[in-house]
Structure 1
C-alpha cells in the first residue's frame, strides 16, 4: 500500500504541478493576448481615423478651392445681373426678366431682396416660392442681419466663404423657401443707388459631386473594401450631439453625421462626444454588443472640430489572435502531456527497480540470503542493486561459515558431554572406592596406633613413653589429614568433572539453538 501510495502521490503532485503551470501560462498568455488585441485594434482604428482625417483635409482643401471659384463666379454673375437690370428699381423689374437672365447665365435662380417695413424680404424671383421669403419669418435673425449689413455697408458676416465690397457669399446651405431639403450656394450683392439686394444662387451639385468622387465618402468606401473587419466609419459633429437643434438651422448647414455612417448608436456616445469637446482626458473607445455582434468603437477628435468615428468587428480582429493563442495553449498542453507521460514512464521504471530492490531486501529480511535483483542499469539504482547483491552474498558466506562452525561446535560439545558424563561416572566410582579404602586404612592405622599407645603405657621399661606417645599422636593426625585430603581431592575432582559435563551440555544446547536459528536462513 505504501509503494502504491507513493506512486499515486508522485503522479498526483506531478498532475497538480502541470495543471498549475497550464493555468498560470494560459492566464498570462490570455492577458498578453488581450493586451495585444487591444493594442492592435487601437492601432488599426487610429490608422484608419488618421487616413480619414487626411482625406478630409485634402478634400476640404480641394472643396474650398472649388468653392472659392464658385464664389468668384457668383460675384461675376451678380455684377452681370446688375448690368442687365440697369438702374431699374425693384418694382420695375419683372420675374420673367429675371427668368430670362437666369437661363442666359445658366444658374439655378435669382432673387431680389428689398426692405419692407422692418424686414427684408424677397420681392422678385425666378422661383415663386422665394417671393415673400424672409429670414425673420423662419427665425434666422443672423440672415437678416447679414442682409441689413449690406444695406448699411457694415461689417459682413464672419461665416462668409468669400466677401468683397458690397458682396459676400455663404457656404453651401439648405434652401429655406422649399419644402424639400435642397442645398444651394448663395451670394448676396448690392450696387450703390439700388434699393434691392441681388441674390444669385446655384445648386451645390458640383461640389457634392467632387466630394462624392474624391472626398471622405470615397475614402471611407475604399477603406471598407480593403478592410472587411470595418463595420462602419463616420465623421461626426459633436456640437450637434450636444445640441440637436443645430441640425435644424439653415445656416451654417450642420449635420450629426458629416460623412459616412453611424448606425451603432449608444447612450454613452453623446456623453463621450461631450467630453471630447471639453478636451477631457478620457478613454475614447469601448466595446459593446449590437444584435449579437461585438463591436469595437473608437472616437478620435479631428483638427476641424469633428470627431472621426470607427466601428470595427471585434470578433474578426481578435479571432486570429485568439486562435493563435489557442494553438499555443494546445501545443503547450500536448507538450506538458508528453512531459507527463515521459516523466510517468521514467518514474514507473525507477519505481519498478526500487520495488525489485525492496523485494530483495524483504526476502533478505525473511532469511533468504540467495535473493538477488537483476536488471541492467548504469545509474545509481544499478549501483545500489549491485551493493545489495554483494551484501547478500557476504551475508550468505558469513552465515554459511557460522553454520559450519556451529555444527562442529555441536559435534564437539556432544563428544565432550559424553566424555564428561563417562568421566564423572568413573570418577565417582573411583573416588568412592578410594574414599572407602582410605577410611579403612585410616581406621586400621588409628586402631594400630591406639593399641601401640596402650602397649607402651603398660610397659614400664619405656622411660620416654610420653614422647613416643606424642609422636604416635602426631602420626595419627597426619594419617587423618591425608585421609581427609584424599577425600577432599576426590570430591573436588568429581565436582570439576560434573561442572565440565554441565558446561558441555550447555554448549551443546547453544550449538543446537544456533543451528536451529541457522536453519531459518536459505543459503
Structure 2
C-alpha cells in the first residue's frame, strides 16, 4: 500500500468509524426511546383508565348512597303502611277479604297496590290483589331466596335477607326497588314490602311505584356519569359496569328475580371472546386486568376493574389517539437527535479535516526534507500541539540548513587547500627529485675523485712502507674510503626518504581533494537556497 493510499485510508477509516459509532448511538438511542415511550404510553393510558374508573366508581357510590337513603325512607314508610293495613284487616280471614277491600285500602293509603300471599300446595302465591295481574304470582320459580323469606314469615320466623332485601325485621322484609315481573306491557319499577301479622295465614304485600328512584338513578346515576365521561373524554370509547356472574352463567339473567344483567350500566359493544374469558375468570378471582387489543381495525386499550358486589367496571380507550401525541413527540426528538448527530458528525469531520490538513503539511515538509530540500517549511497557525510540532520542525530545518551550509563552505575551502597542497607537493616532489639526483651525482663524482686521490696516495705510500708515518696513513686510507662511501649512501637515502615524503604528501593531498570533492557532491544533493 502506498503512503498516499495509507493517508487516504486514515481519513476514510475515521469517517467509517464515526459513521458506525453514530449509527450505533442512533440505534441504541432509538431502541431505548422506543421502550421508554411504550412504557410511558402504557402508564399514561393506564392512569387515564384508572382515573375514569375511579370517577365511575365514585359516581356509582354516590348514586348508591343517595338511592339507599331514598330507599330507606321508603322502607320505613312501607313498614308503617303495612302495619296500618294489617290493623284494618284485623279479625278478617283470607276468605272474608275481597279485592275491593284491597282496592279501598290502596286508595286510602295512596299506594300502587296491595296483594295477599298465601300457601297454595307447596307454593306461596298471590291470592288476593288490588291488581288482577298480581294474582297467581309466585317467587318459587324465579327467586328461591324470596320464596324462603315468605315461608319464614308465615312460620313466624325472622326471615333472612340473603342479599335480596333492603330492609328486614321480625315480621317484615322489603325488597330492593325492581322492575315488576307481572307487568310486561312497559317497564314499571316498584318497591315491595311483605308483612305478616302474627296469627294470620297470609302475607300482606303493599307496594308503591318507585319510578322516581329509577328516574333519579337515570338522571344522576352511573349511566349519566358514564355519558358525561364519554362526552368529556375524547379518548374514551366505551364505559360499562358489567356483572361477571352472568357472563359465566347466562341463565342467571332468566332465573333470578329481578333478573341479573351482563351490562348493568353503560354500553359494551366491542366485546370479544378474550373479554368474555377474562370476565369469567374475574368472577373467580377479582383482579384488575388490562391489555391492548385490535378490534375492527382499531387499537383499543381495555381495562377491567373489580368493583363491589362482584361487579366490574369496563373501560375502553382509543389507544392510537392517546399514543399519537407521544409518538409525534418522540419522532420529533428522534429527528432532532439525528440532526444533532449529523451536525456533530459534520463538525467532527471538519475538525478532523483541519487536523488532517495540518498533518499533511508536516508530512509534505518531511518528504521534502527526505528528498534533500532543506528550504522546506510548514506554516500551521492553530496554536496547538501541531503548531508547536511545525515550529520545532522548522527550527530543526533551519539548524540543519545552517550546519550543511557551513559544512559546504568548509568543504569548499578544504578542496581549494587540497588542490594547492597537491600542486605544491607535485612541484616540491619534482624539485626534491632533481636536487636528489644532482646531489647523488655530485656525491658520486666526489667519491670517485676521493677514491682516485686515495688510490694515488696509496700507490705513493706503498713505495715508502719503511716510513712509519706512511704506514699510519695507509691504515687511515681504508677508513677514509668507508667514510666517503657512507656519506654518499646517506645522501642517497636522504634523497630517497625526502622523495617518499613528498610522494606521500602528494597522495594525501590528492586523497583530501577527492574527499572534499565527494563531500561537495553529497552536499550538492541538498537544496540549500
Q: Is structure 2 residue 409 aligned with structure 1 residue 404?
A: yes
Verify the 8 A CA contact 1:173 1:250 in the aligned structure 2: no
Residue by residue over 1:250-296, the C-alpha shift from the partner in whole angstroms, topping out at 9 and shown as x without a partner, is: 3354323222233343455455556655667x663222222232222
The CA deviation at 1:178 is: 5.5
The match for 1:220 is: 226
Quick one: which of 425, 432, 435 aligns to 1:427? 432
Q: Distance in 2 between matches of 1:283 and 1:109?
A: 45
Look up the SS of the partner of 1:470 in the other structure.
helix
Residue by residue over 1:392-421, the C-alpha shift from the partner in whole angstroms, topping out at 9 and shown as x without a partner, is: 222222222222222222222122222222
Check 1:3–1:287 CA distance in 2 against 1; reply closer, same or farther (3 A cut). Answer: same
Check 1:470–1:184 CA distance in 2 against 1; reply closer, same or farther (3 A cut). Answer: farther
Check 1:313–1:21 CA distance in 2 against 1; reply closer, same or farther (3 A cut). Answer: same
Quick one: which of 136, 139, 152 aligns to 1:135? 139
The match for 1:254 is: 260
Verify the 8 A CA contact 1:113 1:196 in the aligned structure 2: yes
Quick one: which of 493, 496, 516 aligns to 1:491? 496
TM-score (norm 2): 0.88
The CA deviation at 1:429 is: 2.7
After superposing the two structures, state which structure 1 stretch, 2-11 or 14-23, moved more: 14-23
The CA deviation at 1:224 is: 2.1
The CA deviation at 1:316 is: 2.5
Q: Distance in 1 between matches of 2:185 and 2:491?
A: 167
Alignment of 1:113-262 (within 5 A): 113-125=117-129, 128-136=132-140, 138=141, 140-158=143-161, 159-177=164-182, 182=187, 183-192=189-198, 194-251=200-257, 253-262=259-268
After superposing the two structures, state which structure 1 stretch, 454-463 or 505-514, moved more: 454-463
Look up the SS of the partner of 2:239 in the other structure.
strand
Alignment of 1:44-63 (within 5 A): 44-63=48-67
The match for 1:468 is: 473
Verify the 8 A CA contact 1:174 1:253 in the aligned structure 2: no
The CA deviation at 1:318 is: 2.5
Verify the 8 A CA contact 2:157 2:170 in the aligned structure 1: no
Check 1:355–1:247 CA distance in 2 against 1; reply closer, same or farther (3 A cut). Answer: same
The CA deviation at 1:220 is: 1.7
The CA deviation at 1:213 is: 0.9
After superposing the two structures, state which structure 1 stretch, 84-93 or 478-487, moved more: 84-93
Check 1:147–1:377 CA distance in 2 against 1; reply closer, same or farther (3 A cut). Answer: closer
The match for 1:440 is: 445
Verify the 8 A CA contact 1:171 1:252 in the aligned structure 2: no
Q: Distance in 2 between matches of 1:106 and 1:466?
A: 208
Q: Distance in 2 between matches of 1:211 and 1:470?
A: 179
After superposing the two structures, state which structure 1 stretch, 109-118 or 346-355, moved more: 109-118
Look up the SS of the partner of 1:244 in the other structure.
coil
Look up the SS of the partner of 1:113 in the other structure.
strand
Give unpaired runs (5+ residues) of structure 1: none
Q: Is structure 2 residue 7 aligned with structure 1 residue 12?
A: no
Quick one: which of 14, 25, 28 aligns to 1:21? 25
Q: How many residues align?
A: 521
Q: Distance in 2 between matches of 1:419 and 1:168?
A: 156
The CA deviation at 1:46 is: 2.2
Give unpaired runs (5+ residues) of structure 2: none
After superposing the two structures, state which structure 1 stretch, 459-468 or 49-58, moved more: 459-468
Quick one: which of 295, 319, 330 aligns to 2:300? 295
